[in-house]
Amino acid sequence: MAESVRVTSLRATDAVVDFVTHTRWSDLPSDAVALAKRCLIDGLGVVLAGSTTRGSAILRDYIRSSNGSSEATVFGPEAFRCSIAAAALANGASGHAMDFDDTQLSSTPDRIFGLLTHPTVPPLAAALAIGERDDVSGTRFLEAFLIGFEVECKIAEAIDPNHYQKGFHTSGTIGTFGAAAAAAKLFDLDADATAHAIAIAASLSAGIRVNFGSMTKPLHVGRAAQNGVMAAELASRGFTGGAHGLDGQWGFFEVFGFGGHFDPDRIIGRLGAPHSIVAPGVSIKPYPCGVLGHPSMDAMRNLVTVHDVQPEQIRVIRLRAGSNILKPLRYPIAHSELEAKFCPAFMLSSIALRRKAGIDEFTDEFVQSQPVQQMMAKVQTVLDPAIEARGFLKIRSIVEVELDDGRRFVEEADERYRGGPDNPFSREDLNEKFADCSARVLTPTAMAETLRILEGLEDLPGLRALVQVLNDGRDRALVGAPVSTRSADRHPRAEQESR
């Protein structure tokens, strides 16, 4: 398409369009590229793991029933091909199915930590589908992913925090723009078409928090990837939207921010300066659940390990935290694996019982077991005024454990939590997580080859080589095996708030 004219106005939409259409591979800093490859390793791993859940299986069956194209691959134990938009939907939903995907960090206290986006999966799923169909190079794939990642994060920072606090799920709503930006780059849209894609994405943006703890939460992320592809694909065909989809009285920031204050200085002149993946950075999850509980889980693990606390000794577990943790982690007692992802009582009980909380613990069978239900009944959550007064830029909490013999142990959560930029995963940690996730689908040889390709993406001439490894390397012993019961086939419980 024709080269677009550089935009000089100060509208947020123009800033996004300018960034998408003008950013080139040579503009991307080496540290951003290195971090992008880490996020892609993590993201593809959680896509593979999430493909084994019941919710992902239901979604795959739905797509198969209406599939009329063979453009891109839906990954998992029983891979198949469909349209690029449908592949983005399925892989995007799988990527969030276990709530194991990475988390955007906030840069200031008023942008509450943990309430922004899971930034990797929407642009990853979109770029992977288009990239497979068009067999794009590794550099083009990385370029599109980083552009989508950056657009998503900067929009999430710029919108009024009311967007999340009053009920929207940012990974679904704003993730749509990340996917649309990545797709627009791969479609090589000019400035006008990219603006239309952004406006179309604004109308397709969706996802509300009432569905946390159900199969619909990961569907938000799948739809974000699908809708981003759809927006860009429609724009490439001449479909139109408003000229400034983010701006003005009826634009995305005003409407989806509930009329609150949109901060243009967080996006205009800030896209790529620096890239959000570099500063403030992104956190890679050590546990497959809500990130707001991770420091508390680490504190609990340290407490029971150092003091050799046995489950039968525990009388009370008390979690002291601020409202930024206790409101989103809203289930007092979990009755399914999906609810457990937002249940502090389960998070701490799993550590108390097994000294870990991984994929094998987040199952309906373990959550519903008698020892877990009994331990969860011993957990109390307390809104701590002192912690609340310190603000929400960091995840802060205190874990207290009282034993039957009267002893009491206290552990304060380390703000330098595992997986965050201040305490990042080592290469070995990251590869171990990838292996744990992908072992549910791939053979060891395919896992090793996938890691090799991802670590050297710049040298990959075409993305189909990666897809071929993922398809050919599926563990045939798993094909047709029973789908994981991690996603309960039941109606989600009514929303409750931990207090």
pLDDT in tens, 352-374: 999 999 999 999 999 999 999 99
**Last-in-domain residue among 283, 316, 349:** 283
Residue 487 has pLDDT above 50, yes or no: no
pLDDT at 69: 83
Task: Tell me if 191 is assigned to some domain.
Answer: yes
- 121 and 264 assigned to the same domain: yes
Mean pLDDT of all residues in 290-315: 96
Q: What is the pLDDT of residue 107?
A: 75
For residue 450, being part of any structural domain is answered with no
pLDDT in tens, 22-37: 999 999 999 999 999 9
DSSP 210-242: GGTTSTHHHHHHHHHHHHHHHHHHHHHTT----
What is the average pLDDT across 376-391? Answer: 95
Final residue belonging to a domain, choices 263, 283, 303:
283
CATH of the domain at 190: 1.10.4100.10
Q: Which amino acid is at 370?
A: Q
Per-residue pLDDT at 336 exceeds 50: yes
One domain for residues 241 and 330: no
Instruction: Indicate if the pLDDT at residue 497 is higher than 50.
Output: no
For residue 476, being part of any structural domain is answered with no
Q: What is the pLDDT of residue 14?
A: 96
Both 59 and 108 in a single domain? yes
Question: In this predicted structure, what is the pLDDT of residue 484?
Answer: 53
What's the domain range around 365?
291-412
pLDDT at residue 391, as a whole number: 81
Provide the token pair at 17.
């369009």
Measure the CA angle with vertex 444, ends 442 and 450; round to 5°.
Answer: 70
Q: Tell whether 67 and 167 lie within a shared domain.
A: yes
Domain co-membership, 216 together with 324: no
State pLDDT tens for residues 249-272: 999 999 999 988 889 999 999 999
CA 362 – CA 484 distance, rounded (Å): 11
Q: What is the mean pLDDT of residues 152-178?
A: 95
CATH number of the domain encompassing residue 352: 3.30.1330.120
Whether residue 3 has pLDDT greater than 60? no
Examine the fold and report which residue of 223, 250, 283 is the final residue of a domain before the chain moves on: 283
Q: Is the pLDDT of residue 316 over 70?
A: yes
Alpha carbons within 13 angstroms on the beta-carbon side of residue 186 total: 38
Residues 124, 185, single domain; the answer is: yes
Assign 491 a pLDDT band (cuts: 50, 70, 90): very low
The predicted pLDDT at position 113 comes to: 59
- The secondary structure of residue 458, as a DSSP letter, is G
Verify that 262 and 367 share a domain, yes or no.
no
Instruction: Work out how many domains the chain is built from and give that number.
Output: 2
- 155 in any annotated domain: yes
Q: Based on the domain organization, do 273 and 346 belong to the same domain?
A: no
